[in-house]
Amino acid sequence: DNTWTGDLAAAALIVPLTLSPAKKALFAPNVLSGFQFGFDYYGIPVQYETWALVTNAALAPKPPVTFAKLSTKALALKAAGRADVGLAVGQGVKGNAYFTYPLFSGLGGYVFGKDTSGSLNPFDVGVYNSVFRKNTKIIDDWNSTGLINSSVDVVAAEAAFKAGRAPFWITGPWSASTLQALKFKYFISPVPRIDANLAMAPLLGIKGFMATSYAEAHGLGDVVPGLVVKKLSSSTFQSNMAAISLRAPANKKSTYSTSIGGRLAQAFGTAGVDGVPMPNIPQASSVWGPLSTAWAKSTSGPEATPAKKAFSAAQDEIQKAIG
């Protein structure tokens, strides 16, 4: 898991890998960067997963090309009594920063900026940055219109979509079995942009292989890193892994299984092309609780906390925890 990179590297439990320009070119930069810590790469990505927008074709004949069109369609269906949930995004009373991240990034939010090495900078917290701050009223509007509501948890979001009572659902390849059992047609597409100038960057959960520092103690200090870099990065190996896991392979030359599960994995993988890796530095653990709480409080219905207040408090709490 790429999120372990910073902790393991800081504890000297893994060793940096030597990657040639040709080897780096096998992977999309955003996928490869999931294993970067400082100036070094500590892992070879093998697969990744992320979420996308699933559209019920019976309620919306085409996937929305803008978030404004998504909102208009969802609210019209609710007003007509054809839907109970506008946008099925799983939160719950504690919120869920993972599933709401496309909305967060689409409003200009980010977790950490980057330093000169291209690594994440824990002292640049962007939960309440100036761009996001200007867009917080949009969250208040989503709340007041009922487009999203934090009372809808992950289970309720899935149930609403399965029952045909939600036109749009944010989910990922882990829902493949649910999607295959549906009785209606659906589309899988990227979550459309809120602002044309701001990418709806999904979070990428990246899996891969690292070389531990213990290889040296067993006389394998040269062998293990070479095995990881040369063998486990190959398109053949990663294609085979993708066929088993039904996740998107990291190597750009790899292929997907032609099964229904493989086609779903490809659809979700394609939707994640603009994604950002799950943060891989130790300080990331201080982010998810406050950020989730901000979403829960600001989208809880009539008694909701104004988004400016909720996300400002989250920023302060995160910065205080990081120090």
Q: Which of 40, 68, 48 is nearest to 138 (CA)?
A: 68
Same-domain check for residues 183 and 90: yes
What is the pTM for the complete model shown? 0.92
Confidence of residue 143 (pLDDT cuts 50, 70, 90): very high
**Is 293 among the domain residues?**
yes
Averaged pLDDT, 100-126: 93
What's phi and psi for 123, nearest 5 deg? Answer: -95, 5
**Is 44 among the domain residues?**
yes
**Is 229 among the domain residues?**
yes
Same-domain check for residues 41 and 157: no
- Alpha carbon distance 318, 288 (integer Å): 9
Same-domain check for residues 154 and 169: yes
Q: Which of 275, 273, 272 is nearest to 110 (CA)?
A: 275
Averaged pLDDT, 211-218: 80
Same-domain check for residues 209 and 259: yes
Same-domain check for residues 20 and 166: no
Same-domain check for residues 251 and 310: no
Same-domain check for residues 59 and 44: no
**pLDDT for 50:** 92
Same-domain check for residues 224 and 95: no
User: β-pairing, 87-88 with 186-189?
Assistant: unpaired
Averaged pLDDT, 248-261: 91
**pLDDT for 100:** 95
Judged against a pLDDT cut of 70, whether residue 164 lies above it is answered with: yes
* pLDDT single digits (tens) 68-81: 999 999 999 999 99
Judged against a pLDDT cut of 80, whether residue 253 lies above it is answered with: yes
Give the number of domains in the chain.
Answer: 2
Same-domain check for residues 197 and 307: yes
**pLDDT for 221:** 62
> Could you tell me what percent of the chain has a pLDDT over 70?
99
**Is 120 among the domain residues?**
no
> Could you tell me what percent of the chain has a pLDDT over 90?
85
**Is 282 among the domain residues?**
no
Confidence of residue 204 (pLDDT cuts 50, 70, 90): very high
Q: Which two tokens stand for residue 122?
A: 């824990």
**Is 118 among the domain residues?**
no
Whole domain around residue 59: which residue ranges?
52-113+125-201+287-322
Same-domain check for residues 75 and 130: yes
CATH of the domain at 22: 3.40.190.10
Confidence of residue 223 (pLDDT cuts 50, 70, 90): low
Radius of gyration of the chain (CA): 20
**pLDDT for 95:** 95
Same-domain check for residues 23 and 163: no
* pLDDT single digits (tens) 8-58: 999 999 999 999 999 999 999 999 999 999 899 999 999 999 999 999 999
**Is 281 among the domain residues?**
no
Same-domain check for residues 270 and 183: no
Judged against a pLDDT cut of 90, whether residue 133 lies above it is answered with: yes
**pLDDT for 183:** 94
**Is 253 among the domain residues?**
yes
| Averaged pLDDT score across all residues of the chain | 93
